[in-house]
Amino acid sequence: MLYREAGDFKTSYAADQQTFPIKSERYLFWAFMAFTFLVVPFIADDYWVNSILVPLLVWSMVALGLNILTGYCGQVSLGTGGFMAVGAFACYKLMTGFPELNIFIVILLSGAVTAGVGVLFGLPSLRIKGFYLAVATLAAQFFLVWMFNKFAWFYNYSASGQITAPTRTVFGIEVTGPSAPPWAAYLACLVLVFVFAWVARNLTRGRIGRSWMAMRDMDIAAEIMGVSPLYAKLSAFAISSFYIGMGGAMLFSLYLGAAEVTEAFGIEKSFSALFMVIIGGLGSILGSFLGAAFIVLFPVLLKNIMVGYFGWPTDLAAHFQIMIVGGLIIFFLIVEPHGLAQLWRLTKEKLRLWPFPY
Amino acid sequence: MRLKTTLATAAIATVMGVAPAMADLVFPGLSYRTGPYAPNGIPFADGYADYMTLINERDGGLEGVKIKLIECETGYNTEKGVECYESTKGEGSLIYQPLSTGITYQLIPKATADNIPVHSMGYGRTSAADGTVFPWIFNYPATYWDGASIAINHILDLEGGNINGKKISLVYHNSAYGKEPIRTLEELGKKHGYQLTLYPVDHPGQEQKATWLQIRRDRPDYVLMWGWGVMNSVAVQEAANIRFPMDHFIGVWWSGSENDVLPAGDGANGYKALALANPGSDYPIYADLKKYVHDAGKAAGDGSHAGEVLYNRGMYAALLAVEAARKAMEIHNTKDLTPAMIRDGMEALEITNETMTNLGLPDFGPEFKVTCANHGGSGLGKVQQWDASAKEWKVITDWIAADREVIDALIKEDAEAYAKENNITPRTCE
């Protein structure tokens, strides 16, 4: 019913290999994209943009990055918060050091800086794996946060250690800073996430993505088949950190506007990013978005229901929210260990056959 | 899933979007009743809410206009704080008092752009005391830098005016909040010749064994503390464990509530803290609070915090907000207030002993006057000391003034740097 596939024939390899092989799904995707680009900027108000849409996009970017490393290449990382901090501080230093630089270039460069740092902290992955690697990346998390606290150069010697995003414009429109219109920050995030989700999708389908997955599934077999572990693992660290660094830069410049390293990029951020990719679905681009949506939006939704609708005391609602989200994480992991993306995949399989399953 | 969630949120948003009655005075309460900072957040939030309830119940509102308090749970987390700000500002919020330096830093640019005043009472960004650069931000009656100077002045008093060569340590929450006093203490160190050592404690501050072992080894003459939440009680306990002389251990006004010292029992006896206002419940207003709020079953939370230091401070914050609103009504001669009018009211606020007596809190807080250029108030503080056997704070000094010469220069310097970084042209005050 929902999927009408009659007459949807593939006559070339390109048509067969495209990301959305089902025609109706393809149309739905483009319609959704058109909605997010052309309609949402006009209808979203401050609250929707600053508390829901921008955090969702920023965290999707981070989850995409971590999914490349953990989901596709199988390298567990607990250093996400630290890498985001690198992105944010690189962004701050570039913004204040080169005021005339376009914010998009600043964010890309912040990603590049983080990629370099990521490769450095990815080096241990060549010798250790599994839990041991997780501990090594945990060291990265604590080291980086400590470093940004310790050396005042990173925060331009401000008395409080806070970094604040100055106003920057794109095509004459303010994108960062307090007076930027909400839709501008939203569109900037959306463009970045759209482009880089596209890139990620195609990277993971190509040679480099296959080498990551080979490395994930069995490193020795992959090595025998000619996949270089050095290249595969370090490229996964570099590209993953690039995404996470951009996410951190966006979090700082487009979302919060000011940040303080211990609070904004602490170990909880590493954990929530890891939850996102696990709940969303390891090794899935869609899963990164679903996981980010679950972790970012669900608490806000619950809060609005319990406090705004039922009028419960805020502390009761906060405690309930922690319990419900925690419970749901366990529920999803038991019912569908491959994450929300797999849940969607199964639903789609059923819907394609519905109402005449065989 | 995403679509479904979005749709559901949209439905909720529609339900919530019902406009409030126009005449209400909307005060958002960005509170935290959960997480590691809840022991301090709860009494403050209760005091804030109870004072607003008292005004509504006893006086029928402010000059007949009811007050509407919207609480929002921030958990002392900046991202949640921003979410709270965005979700409440659309409801006509008049003034923000986030009780978190981190959230205040987030709100300074946002609220300035949205033209909503922020009152960070004794916290937040100290240089916001410069009203020419920060027209929408207020931090009266005293700032962190005043606090640092008051503590040093108290030490000077104890040492007979000479602390040259003494070792003074700062144990601080490793965040924007804890780092605030460092510059001032360094400057004062140059002036008075003491030696400053720093001991950062990372969020949330439950683990301080190593810090206090270092302190035991370094043997400083005095320890100052800029702590918050569980960090306070842990520090007091650890100081007692290493038998540090408690009367040489001085906390800022955020490290001086009952919750911070009670867990350490007798060990905390003699611990000192600064006070923004007097502790205790020995004031006429408490009779009204009991009659109209607590006995009427309208108290916020479980109602057990009345009379605590932070409850009093929450009440004081609410009182200053209400008085600013009263002033704004007087200036603009209207009862339908906007945030901009409240800002004018705050800037013209003058608290005298007479005002405080009329409000049922005689001899409670300092006298101060806010002006266009000075948003920091008079910068006065007292020192209180914990009496573990009586389980109460005793005020041991009169109002101590900060070293204005040093502080004002620092404020000017930092505000100018901020103005330059953000392309702000300071306004002129006549």
Average pLDDT score over chain A: 91
Domain with B298 in it: what CATH number? 3.40.50.2300
B339 and B243: one domain?
Answer: no
Query: In chain A, where are the structural domains located?
Result: 44-266
Which candidate in B79, B103, B198, B228 is best for mutational testing of the A interface (most A CBs within 10 A)?
A: B79
In a 3-state reduction of DSSP, which class is residue B371?
A: coil
The mean pLDDT of A18-43, rounded to a whole number, is 92
**Among all residues of chain B, which has the CA nearest to that of A299?**
B80
Determine the residue type at A128. I
Contact flag A167-B423 (C-beta cutoff 8 Å): yes
Partners of residue B27 on adjacent β-strands: B69
CA distance A87 to A157: 19
pLDDT for the residue numbered B23 = 61
Token pair in block for residue A275: 């939850």
Task: Name the E strands within A142-273.
Answer: 162-164, 169-170, 173-174, 258-260
* Residue B332 CA: distances (Å) to CA of B92, B325, B326, B368: 18, 10, 10, 22
Interface residue A142 vs chain B (CB under 8 A) = no
Beta carbon pairs, A and B, within 8 Å: 143
Interface residue B395 vs chain A (CB under 8 A) = no
Lowest mean pLDDT, pick from A2-11, A112-121, B143-152, B274-283: A2-11
pLDDT tens for the 430 residues of chain B, in order: 444 445 454 444 444 444 444 468 999 999 999 888 998 999 999 999 999 999 999 999 998 899 999 999 998 988 889 889 988 988 889 999 999 988 998 899 889 989 999 999 999 999 999 999 999 999 999 999 999 999 999 999 999 989 999 999 999 998 889 998 999 999 999 999 999 999 999 888 888 999 999 999 999 999 999 999 999 999 999 999 999 999 999 999 999 999 999 999 999 999 999 999 999 899 999 999 999 999 999 998 888 898 899 999 999 999 999 999 999 999 999 989 999 999 999 999 999 999 999 999 998 999 999 999 999 999 999 999 999 999 999 999 999 999 999 999 999 998 998 888 788 899 988 7
**Rounded to the nearest 10 degrees, how much is the dihedral formed by the CA atoms of B285, B290, B294, B297?**
-120
Q: Could you read off the pLDDT of A235-244 as tens digits, one per residue?
A: 999 999 999 9
Which candidate in A145, A251, A263 is best for mutational testing of the B interface (most B CBs within 10 A)?
A: A263
pLDDT for the residue numbered A1 = 58
pLDDT for the residue numbered B16 = 44
In a 3-state reduction of DSSP, which class is residue B201?
A: strand
Neighbours of A351 (CB within 10 A): 12
Domain range spanning residue B362?
11-143+280-379
Neighbours of A144 (CB within 10 A): 23
pLDDT for the residue numbered A222 = 95
CA distance A37 to A195: 13
pLDDT for the residue numbered B359 = 93
Contact flag B33-A314 (C-beta cutoff 8 Å): yes
* Contact predicate A163/A94, CB 8 Å: no
Count of structural domains, chain B: 2
In terms of Cα–Cα distance, which of B72, B63, B59, B57 is closest to B27?
B72
Q: Could you read off the pLDDT of A303-344 as tens digits, one per residue?
A: 889 988 888 888 899 899 889 988 988 888 888 889 999 999
B68 and B214: one domain?
Answer: no
Distance of CA B336 to the CA centre of its chain: 28
pLDDT for the residue numbered A7 = 81
Contact flag B9-A52 (C-beta cutoff 8 Å): yes
pLDDT for the residue numbered B429 = 84
In a 3-state reduction of DSSP, which class is residue B170?
A: strand
CA distance A201 to A197: 6
10 Å CB burial of residue B219 (0-12, 13-18, 19+) is exposed
B15 and B115: one domain?
Answer: yes
In a 3-state reduction of DSSP, which class is residue B130?
A: strand
Q: Is residue B237 part of a domain?
A: yes
Question: Predicted confidence band at A3 (pLDDT cuts at 50, 70, 90)?
Answer: confident
B316 and B248: one domain?
Answer: no
Instruction: Give the one of A166, A178, A293 whose C-beta lies nearest to B112's C-beta.
Output: A178
* Contact predicate B277/B312, CB 8 Å: yes
Question: Predicted confidence band at A17 (pLDDT cuts at 50, 70, 90)?
Answer: confident
B355 and B392: one domain?
Answer: no
Contact flag A315-B33 (C-beta cutoff 8 Å): yes
Residues of A in contact with B136 (CB under 8 A): none
The mean pLDDT of A209-213, rounded to a whole number, is 96
In chain B, residues 308-327 whose CB comes closer than 8 Å to chain A: none
> In chain A, what is the straight-line distance between the N-terminal and C-terminal CA atoms, in Å?
15
Neighbours of B414 (CB within 10 A): 22
Question: Predicted confidence band at A86 (pLDDT cuts at 50, 70, 90)?
Answer: very high
**Residue percentage of chain B with pLDDT more than 70:** 94
CA distance A246 to A88: 8
Instruction: Give the one of B101, B109, B421 whose C-beta lies nearest to A257's C-beta.
Output: B109
B139 and B150: one domain?
Answer: no
Token pair in block for residue A156: 């331009």
CA distance A224 to A245: 33
Q: Is residue B4 part of a domain?
A: no
Distance of CA A178 to the CA centre of its chain: 24
pLDDT for the residue numbered A23 = 87
Of B379, B400, B421, the one marking the end of a domain is B379
Determine the residue type at A296. V
Rounded to whole angstroms, the maximal C-alpha distance in chain A is: 69
* Contact predicate A51/A300, CB 8 Å: yes
Residues of A in contact with B15 (CB under 8 A): 308-309
